[in-house]
Amino acid sequence: MATEEDKGLKGMRMKEVAEETEEEEEAITEKQTEPVEEIVETEEAVEEEEIAEEIAEEAEEEVEVEEAKKEEKGEEEIVEEKVYTIPLSRAWISSHQKRAPRAIRLVKNFIQRHMKVKEETLEEGEEGERVVISNEVNERIWSRGIQKPPRKIRVRAAKDKEGTITIYLAEGD
């Protein structure tokens, strides 16, 4: 009986030893393949970085070209530019819920009067195309809501070759 038990123990020990050797062999093969995988990963990372740099350079070049075009157009198109302080006190005459829209209309009418928009275009109903209010001016008027537009606003009006007047906030405001 002792021999059978010894054989059973020896068989279990042999299985354990075999499992340990298999684990060691797997660990060795993993160690051997890790540097190869790291090299491949680093090469891929370098390639990706190079591609990202190329894309960034192309994007910067496109931005510079677009800015140059905008500057050329801006310089060529502007025929006349003036700075005005527009009183919006008349907007406060109307009811609370109509003040900001009325202030926008006051700005448009003021600019049409002072920049001398042709009366022919006004009669044809093209005034929406002739006077353009920029987002920053609109946001300034609506900044405190519909009920409390500012009492006055300082703007810069620029007229281009086509006769379109664009209204911007004055510098420093």
Torsion, CA 13, CA 18, CA 24, CA 30, rounded to 10: -150
SS3 assignment, position 87: strand
Query: What is the identity of the amino acid at 146?
Result: I
Architecture of domain 79-169: Roll (3.10)
Residue spans per domain, the chain:
79-169
Q: Which of 160, 164, 154, 100 is nearest to 132 (CA)?
A: 164
Q: Looking at the DSSP assignment, which residues form a beta bridge with residue 154?
A: 85
Q: How far apart are CA 10 and CA 114, in angstroms?
A: 108
Note the pTM of the prediction, 2 decimals. Answer: 0.53
Separation in Å, CA 149 to CA 11, 72, 96, 141: 93, 35, 10, 5
Q: How far apart are CA 168 and CA 82, in angstroms?
A: 10
Q: How confident is the prediction along the chain (173 residues), in pLDDT tens digits per residue?
A: 556 555 555 566 666 666 776 777 776 666 555 555 555 567 777 778 888 788 877 777 777 766 666 555 545 478 889 999 999 999 999 999 999 999 999 999 999 999 888 765 555 655 445 899 999 999 999 999 999 999 999 999 999 888 889 999 998 76
Helix 135-142 with 99-114: angle, nearest 10 deg: 140
